Amino acid sequence: MTPELKTDIVILGAGIGGYEAFRTLSRLLRRYNIKKQITIVDQNNYFTFTPLLHEVASGAVEPTHATLPLQELVYKTPHKFLKTTVTKINPVQKIVTTSAGLMSYEFCVVALGSTTNYYGVPGAEKNAYHTRSLAGAMILRHNLIEKLESSQPEINIMVVGGGFTGVEVAGQLAYFARHDLAKLYPEKKIAITLVQTIGTLVPQLPLKAQQIIFKRLKKMGVKILLNTAVKEVKEKLVVIEPFQQTSRDSSTPARAFAQNDSPKKELVSDFTVWCAGFGNIANCFLEESFCATNHSIPTGPFLTHQTESSLYAIGDIAQVMNKNETKPLPQLGEVAYHEGRYVAEHIIATMRKKTLAPFYFKSKGTLMPIGDRYGVAIFGPVVISGLFAWWLRRTVYLMFMPGFLRKLKIVFDWTLHLFGFSYIIAVERNMEHGPKNN
Ligand SMILES: Cc1cc2nc3c(=O)[nH]c(=O)nc-3n(C[C@H](O)[C@H](O)[C@H](O)COP(=O)(O)OP(=O)(O)OC[C@H]3O[C@@H](n4cnc5c(N)ncnc54)[C@H](O)[C@@H]3O)c2cc1C
């Protein structure tokens, strides 16, 4: 079939990586007066800043602060945004199949992200909440508020996964429970449990940071179950069992922390929030022969596919390794951002017949919030925690958002939020199933 759509550069996915690739590309095309058109494609008509979504779920951040309409991005540019779903990429013919039709391209940047990995745990996909999409965060928020308005005196929340996301979600919900909810619903008891398979939280971080996080969550009333595996998620129940550490797991500093204090096999859970891992999705779009065995896209030093030079891959979907390293870069926003910027520069260099040094990622630091007004910041061997670290993270995010007016609006809203309550209203009866249930 002949493609009915045609573009010079197509960016598939307008998340952290795709968004940054677009911004840099459009700036460089203008700078060098290159007359090429970019089409940026996403299934949503807005960009989502995923790391803020758990704050959307608790109401600390408005949905409009974590998102950006994509038509605004292309406004007054020669470029296009196409809201459609990508289904296939043919890198040999240079054709992308979407629900809007076939599109041919000269360069393609794949930035379609990742999905939730439920590790085959029965009932997890059906019964657990997640905060990896705006809709997911809003559904959790809505249903939590509905439950608060019910006559149930105790609400149990179980957060599964003690990595970055699980810690951030547990911390944010604990803050919400201890502040706004404690004041507005004083008769309710909200219990938050964090379940982690291994003996420590966020094992990628230095031991000092892990200890700070552990203590902070405990102080906020979060019950932490280490060395515990979730075996099944039912509608109101989670089945757990002790997790046997392998020799690899036991290299983590488990001894620093307390042992499990719950011998129970089944725990009541009104809200199970799944934060236990990312799943790769490249095989949903590309033939297996173009994918790595873990279903990511294997890239070379310039972030192009190892065999197809017009196909770039960035962010969670890409398997990128720094020179002389054998471990792929982590699936993090900071990585996707720098890869997005690099591929834009590489495409322009290719058009201008220039050369560019291979991609190399060096983290500038890690910033994570644990509830409102408390964060942990890690810069090499230096670990700081408290209000400043939290403020720093929000400031870095703010810098990422385009436009002076937008920045001003967000700063204004965030400042006001420090003094009031978050907006606790349940908007629709069933957000998952739309107007028919109104
Ligand atoms: C809850 C949560 C918290 C996180 N917190 C942090 C954090 O604190 N710090 C940090 O560095 N990282 C964090 N991350 C990781 C970070 O969000 C990701 O690594 C980053 O977003 C990856 O960027 P990306 O561009 O590859 O994908 P994404 O930002 O996920 O973007 C992918 C885009 O592709 C679109 N898309 C997907 N499939 C299709 C399709 N078939 N057709 C059309 N469009 C499609 C999606 O709509 C989306 O816009 C967090 C992730 C989650 C889930």
The pLDDT value given to residue 244:
72
User: In angstroms, what is the span from residue 284 Cα to ligand 1's centroid?
Assistant: 16
What's the whole-number mean pLDDT along residues 117-133? Answer: 95
Q: Which residue has the tokens 């085959």?
A: 120
The least confident of 38-47, 185-194, 321-330, 403-412 is 403-412
Q: Is the CB of 280 inside a 6 Å radius of any atom of ligand 1? A: no
Tens digit of each residue's pLDDT (9 = 90 or more) over 205-242: 999 999 999 999 999 999 999 999 999 999 999 999 99
- pLDDT, position 248: 46
**CATH 3.50.50.100 is right for the domain spanning 118-277:** yes
Distance 114 CA to ligand 1 centre (A): 7
Phi, psi of 101 (to 5 degrees): 125, -175
Pairwise CA distance, residues 432 & 436, whole Å: 11
Q: Strand, helix or coil at 269?
A: coil
> Would you say the CB of residue 366 lies under 6 angstroms from ligand 1?
no
Answer whether 200 contacts ligand 1 (Cβ < 6 A): no
Q: What confidence score (pLDDT) does residue 429 get? A: 52
d(CA 359, CA 362): 10
Model confidence pLDDT, tens digit, residues 395-428: 988 888 777 887 888 888 888 877 777 777 766 5
The answer, yes or no, to whether any atom of ligand 1 lies below 6 A from the CB of 164, is yes
**pLDDT of 33 higher than 60:** yes
With tokens 């934060």, the residue in question is: 275
C-beta 140 within 6 A of ligand 1:
no
Q: CA dist 181 to 148, 156, 175, 177, 309, Å?
A: 9, 14, 9, 5, 53
Residue 30's pLDDT is: 97
Residue 183 has which token pair? 């004041």
pLDDT band at 249 (very low <50, low <70, confident <90, very high): very low
Whole-angstrom distance, CA of residue 372 vs CA of residue 391: 9
Ligand 1 center to 66 CA (angstroms): 12
- Protein residue with least CA distance to atom 5, ligand 1: 51
Burial bucket for residue 305 (CB in 10 Å: 0-12, 13-18, 19+):
buried
- Candidate of 173, 332, 335 to mutate for ligand 1, largest count of ligand atoms within 8 Å of Cβ: 332
Residue 252 predicted with pLDDT over 60: no
Size (the chain), residues: 438
- Return phi, psi of residue 228, to 5°: -130, 130
Is the beta carbon of 112 within 6 A of some atom in ligand 1? yes
- Taking the chain, what is the end-to-end CA distance rounded to the nearest angstrom? 43
Q: Residue 415: what pLDDT?
A: 84
Confidence at 12, pLDDT banded by 50, 70, 90: very high
Average pLDDT over residues 110-115: 97
Closest C-alpha residue for ligand 1 atom 38:
112
Cα distance between residue 200 and residue 210, in whole Å: 7
Q: How confident is the model at residue 261 (pLDDT cuts 50, 70, 90)?
A: low
- Average pLDDT of 149-159? 95
Q: Which atom of ligand 1 is nearest to the CA of 333?
A: 11
From the CA of 17, give the closest atom in ligand 1. Answer: 25
Report whether residue 44 contacts ligand 1, using a CB cutoff of 6 Å: yes
DSSP-derived 3-state class of residue 82:
strand
Say if CB 310 and CB 107 are below 8 A apart.
Answer: yes
Residue 219 tokens, joined: 């102080």
Going by CATH, does the domain composed of 5-114+280-351 fall within 3.50.50.60? Answer: yes
Distance 342 CA to ligand 1 centre (A): 18
Average pLDDT of the chain is 90
Atom of ligand 1 nearest to the CA of 330: 19
Beta strands in 356-412 (DSSP E): 366-369, 375-379, 382-386
Query: Cα(235)–Cα(126) distance, rounded to whole angstroms?
Result: 9
The residue type at 252: T
The residues spanned by each domain of the chain are 5-114+280-351, 118-277
Q: Which atom of ligand 1 is nearest to the CA of 315?
A: 26
| 96 ligand 1 Cβ < 6 A | no
Higher pLDDT residue, 331 or 403? 331
Kindly give the distance from the C-alpha atom of residue 319 to the centroid of ligand 1, in angstroms, as a whole number: 15
Give me the pLDDT at residue 427, please.
66
How far is the centre of ligand 1, averaged over its atoms, from the C-alpha of 265 (Å)? 34
Q: Which two tokens stand for residue 252?
A: 């983590």
Q: What is the mean pLDDT of residues 64-75?
A: 92
Same fold, 5-114+280-351 and 118-277: yes
Name the residue of 39, 49, 50 whose CB sits within 8 Å of the most ligand 1 atoms, as the mutation to test its pocket: 50
Q: Choose the weakest-confidence range: 56-70, 242-256, 314-328.
A: 242-256
Nearest residue (CA) to ligand 1, atom 26: 315
Nearest to 321 by CA among 361, 288, 291: 361
Q: What is the pLDDT of residue 114?
A: 96
What is the mean predicted confidence (pLDDT) over 357-377?
94
pLDDT at 110 over 80: yes
Ligand 1 binding pocket includes 13 (Cβ within 6 Å): yes
What's this model's pTM, rounded to 2 decimal places?
0.91
Q: Please work out whether the CB of residue 370 comes within 6 Å of at least one atom of ligand 1.
A: no
Nearest ligand 1 atom to alpha carbon 285: 41
| Spatial distance between the Cα atoms of 164 and 275, rounded to a whole number of angstroms | 9
